Structures are given as C-alpha cells and as structure tokens.
Amino acid sequence: MSDNHLPRDLTLYVLARFLLVGVIAGGLLLVNVPLLVALLIGLVVGLPLGLLLFRPLNARVTAGLARRNEKRARARAELRSQLRGDRVDGAA
C-alpha cells in the first residue's frame, strides 16, 4: 500500500469516528436525553467503541503514518549528512 492512501484513510477514519459519536448521540436524543449529555456520552462511549469497530482502518492509518515518519527521518538524516559535508552516494 502506498503513502498516497494515507490522506484518504485518515479522512475516512476521522469521519467514521464522528459518525459513530453522532449515531450514539442521536440514539440517546430519541429517548429524550438532553443534547449536551447525549454528545458527551457519545464521545465517551464512541472512543473505545471506535477503536474496536474500526480496527482495520486504524491499522492502515498507523502503518501509513509509520512509513511517512520513516521517510522523513531518512530525509532528515541525509540532509544532516550533507550539512556536515559527508560524502553522499553518487557524489564525486
């Protein structure tokens, strides 16, 4: 899976989590729970439930972030090497 899927996966994950909180809060509103209380309960219940329900999507986002961070660390190390004046592969 390439890194260009990270923005899509991250957006889907965030939207899914918001949707879950909205569904929980909406269900509570149907049984006449006040809006603020329903939202708070939706957040508290939705956080752990979202981790369980959206585990595959969470794994894809986590893997994409790890790949991106690895690339950034390599680029940073290469830049530091160049700034120190170390020889870079392919340079004469």
**Taking CA 63 as the corner, what is the angle to CA 46 and CA 56, rounded to the nearest 5 degrees?**
45
Examine residue 90 and state whether it is found in any structural domain, yes or no: no
Share of the chain above pLDDT 90, in %: 77
How far apart, in Å, are the Cα atoms of 49 and each of 6, 15, 20, 60? 22, 14, 9, 18
The number of domains in the chain is 1
Give the other-Cβ count within 10 Å of 38's Cβ.
21
Each residue of 75-84: pLDDT tens digit?
A: 999 989 888 8
| Residue numbers of the domain that contains 78 | 4-84
Mean pLDDT, residues 66-87 taken together: 90
Question: Cα–Cα distance between 41 and 30 in angstroms, integer?
Answer: 14
Is residue 57 in a domain? yes
Asked whether residue 91 is domain-assigned, the answer is no
Average pLDDT over residues 41-46: 95
Specify the amino acid at residue 63.
A
